[in-house]
Chains A and B, each alone.
Chain A
Amino acid sequence: MVGYSLLLIVILSLVAYYVGRGSARRFAGGAGSDKVHSLPGYHGAFIAVWVGIPAFVLVVLWASFQGAMLDNLVISSLPQAFTDGKSPAELNLALSEIRNLASGRIFGEPAPEIRAAAERLLAWQHIASWAMVVVAAALMILVLVFARTRIAPRFRARNNVERVLSALMVFCSVVAILTTVGIIVSLLYESIAFFRLVPIHEFLFGLKWEPQIAIRADQVAGAGAFGAVPVFAGTLLISAIALIVAIPIGLFTAIYLVEYADDRVRNVVKPIMEILAGIPTVVFGFFAVLTVAPAIREAGGLMGIATSPNSALAAGFVMGIMIIPFISSLSDDALRSVPRAMRDGSLAMGATASETMTKVLLPAALPGIMGGILLAASRAIGETMIVVMAAGLIATLTINPMDSVTTVTVQIVSMLIGDTSFDSPKTLAAFALGLVLFIVTLGLNILALQIVKKYREQYE
């Protein structure tokens, strides 16, 4: 139905455009046409935007909230006898059964109340969808008729259309803000619900993380299974390994490209780095599981070190490969933005290339490089697929890279993957972890961008 409504909107907007343009042409060609303010096309566009946009907004809003409203209606329409003594979770379960039934998926033998509710839901859905089409059509025709009367030689159709366009553009640029607000609100909302079940200090400072066990609500508070410190520690361990791998490789690559490589080498190496940067993280994850983890395990076995099959080293190493291009390109930028005069000055003193690099260029570019490393660290902390595939699920508090550790992102995915009811502490904990992740990466990014910006200003 939404599809048909949108099609209807497009058709009626086109009709509106031609109607508007047609009536504007009538006076545009005639006597005194020099007094016409706007071109006929703008009159058409004027009617079209006023016909199309409100209807579009109406349909989108209707479609967004129809489901939730109907759910409420269905719940409240259930007989008293059926709902009595049922927890919200059970009601939710009943609701999803009704929904399934209404969309033709039948499991087992549904209760008669459920069956009746499903029929009601189906009927209401039918009515609501048609109502949406009818209301939208009526709105558009009403606007069309009214706007048609506004068309006159001196009517400033162009200004009106441009004002509408400007408003649309402002709205679009606010979408980015709305996204941020949406992220913050949804994370906060669920996290607060979680902190009602598990005290915030226990979450932030607790040393034991066992959400798999604490599925039952009565187990939560006493067991203290939501202490996230081991999860944070695991995240830091893997990110640190990644940075230890990526910083030297990335930095030396940048140094070589800036100071030693000629154009030929640069034209080969740079695209290769871009390819490395463009590889989806799921591919790196598979590489970690299939190749790197077994290799590390074998190497560990040869050296007589007990190595977990999903060691932090494997995940961290592959994550390091992933962020090499990131560090090399940001360091390259930073080194290149040191004015050439510095380099010439040093070389003219008889310094070698390495002296110029280590004593002049690197110190001068250090803030920029630091900014890049912070951005890379924020990437590593927020990276998901590699660790989901290659790191462990059990939260162990260790700094041994051969052990298996878990990370914030792994826990989020493992707690939300599959169908869990939305208000269990396990699900809510994922949002609390998401909130921590968001705050930490945001902090790192702001800091890094600030450093890089300050540094740029220094040379501009």
Chain B
Amino acid sequence: MADVALATRDVPTPEFQTVRTPDPHPRPTKVKADNVKVFYGQKQALNGVSIDIPVKSVTAFIGPSGCGKSTFLRCLNRMNDTIDGCRVEGEILLDNRDIYDASLDVVELRARVGMVFQKPNPFPKSIFDNVAYGPKIHGLARSKAELEEIVVSSLQKASLFNEVKDRLHEPGTGLSGGQQQRLCIARTIAVSPDVILMDEPCSALDPIATAKVEELIDELRENFTIVIVTHSMQQAARVSQRTAFFHLGTLVEEGPTDHVFTNPSERRTQDYITGRFG
């Protein structure tokens, strides 16, 4: 792996051409990335990724570890800004607005593009306060009753309400791993984002909790545009409508999920999916 990576980076390759397969029934584009490059200090982590992410559907990013899929995901709500020495080039449009434009407030962007992390990270507060955090800071509720309504409906949408309704004021850290992750999803949807980014949301969970979260993702795409990074190809196949395959910092192939999994156009995609590397 490492040797391959070195080799490709040493040789200046011509601009890589992503193989794209359009949807049979194309949806409008929510997020459009054009030639996005990311640098960590001197090191280039992403070499020119372009992709259109359709609205109200699930797009999965797959690929071996270190391929840049998480890096790209973190560009979509500018979480890379929090890393010292990280630089992003190229253009990312959310509803046709450049998210790296100086006039756009990163606070607004992150409210509209929520994120769920690999490891559940509830705040050390009560379940209620965890979900109420976003609406409170963004001023989405005019009254206490409204806030409660938002919290309850978010927990319901995250299919967690029934499990926690009797202990809303107990610490969120006391829940099981799967519940914690659903709490984080509830926390994210409480601010009604347009897009939810999920960075391997099930990798720290057991199979039963994973199934629940996957089920939830499937429900959520009714209302949200979802981008999910996953290690598990089965998961990508189960939950996503479109799949993008990353390798060594480039987007190799993207297309409808069943196409990518059953009939990939690129040899590298096929090698990865059939388990020859990764």
Residues of A participating in the B interface, judged by any CB pair closer than 8 Å = 262-263, 339, 341-352, 355, 359-360, 363-364
Contacts and interface: CB of A to CB of B under 8 A. Distances in A.
B187 A349 contact: yes
Contact of A341 (B109, B114, B119, B125): B119
14 contacts: A342-B124, A344-B82, A345-B121, A345-B122, A345-B187, A347-B79, A347-B82, A348-B77, A349-B187, A350-B108, A350-B191, A351-B134, A355-B137, A359-B137
Interface in B202-255: none
A342 B184 CA distance: 11
Nearest to B124: A364
Number of contact residues on B: which range applies? Answer: 20 to 34
Nearest to B123: A360
Report whether over half of chain A's contact residues are helix, strand or loop; otherwise say mixed: helix
Given A341-B117, A348-B110, A359-B133, 6 more contacts: A347-B79, A348-B79, A348-B117, A349-B191, A350-B106, A351-B107
Contact of A350 (B110, B121, B123, B125): B110
Contacts of A349: 110-111, 114, 133-134, 137, 187-188, 191
Nearest to A347: B82
Report whether over half of chain B's contact residues are helix, strand or loop; otherwise say mixed: helix
B115 interface: yes
A350 B137 contact: yes
Nearest to A355: B137
A338 to B, nearest CB: 8
Most buried by B among A345, A349, A363: A349
Interface in B34-87: 77, 79, 82, 84
Contact of B137 (A262, A339, A345, A351): A351
Contact of A352 (B107, B109, B124): B107
Contact of A342 (B77, B121, B138): B121
A109 B203 CA distance: 93
Contacts of A346: 123, 133
Contacts of B112: 350
Contacts of A359: 133, 137
B106 to A, nearest CB: 8
Q: Report the 10 A-B pairs with minimum CB-CB distance, sorted nearest first.
A: A350-B111, A350-B110, A341-B121, A348-B115, A345-B121, A349-B134, A364-B124, A350-B107, A355-B137, A351-B137
Contacts of A263: 84
B184 to A, nearest CB: 7
Contacts of B138: 350
A363 B126 CA distance: 12
Given A262-B84, A341-B117, A347 B124 contact: no
Interface in B93-152: 106-112, 114-115, 117, 119, 121-125, 133-134, 137-138
A350 B119 CA distance: 19
Contact of B121 (A262, A339, A352, A355): A339
Interface in B174-198: 184, 187-188, 191
A351 to B, nearest CB: 5
A341 B116 CA distance: 11
Contacts of A350: 106-112, 134, 137-138, 191
A363 B124 contact: yes
B177 to A, nearest CB: 13
B69 to A, nearest CB: 17
